[in-house]
Structure 1
Amino acid sequence: MSEKPTRPHGKVVRFDSLDDMPPAAPLSSAFKALTDDELERRAASDPDAGSIPAEFWNTAEPVEAETKEQITLRLDPDVLRHFRGTGKGYQSRINAVLKSYVKAKEKAG
């Protein structure tokens, strides 16, 4: 089995609770040296840092992560060989292919 990364630009990480998350890495000395005014200026100029309206939290509801169900699945050897050849996380990729198929079928009606 090859040691290819499952995603070229990072990984998706999910936790069942905040208690399961590892502690954050310490801030760099350059970041620690920033003043509050500089941090606020940077946040205000960041196009991805929108403000969340206060009323959002009045109706927000936590969403539970959907757990996967373990099954036994029979696949053709060439299909299994292909996915295993993509490296660690191949079962998640099989799931993603099946999920996209289901969504396409639902969309088609």
Structure 2
Amino acid sequence: MSKPKYTQADMDAVSDNPEWSEEDFAKAVPFAEAFPDLAKTIRRRGVQKAPTKVSTTIRLSPEVIAHFRSTGPGWQARIDDALKDWVAAHG
């Protein structure tokens, strides 16, 4: 195990959130009890849908990645769309 690159003095200098004691844990209450009005405003996610895509690793040329990334968020979905178009045309 390697030695940390920081000292306890470093941690003390930057920490305004000390580690909880047993007493702190004993006094803790659930978020919904501590902040009921705020808790009511939090939307809950439903059940996760079954994945419709398969995670994989693919190596692409830097030019292809640069082009699609330059088009902004959603660039990976656009690569998927381009590949699906190619498959449909050459299927």
TM-score, length of structure 2 as denominator length: 0.44
**RCO greater where, 1 or 2, for CA within 8 Å and sep 6 or more?**
1
TM-score, length of structure 1 as denominator length: 0.37
Larger radius of gyration, structure 1 or 2? 2
Larger fraction in helix: 2
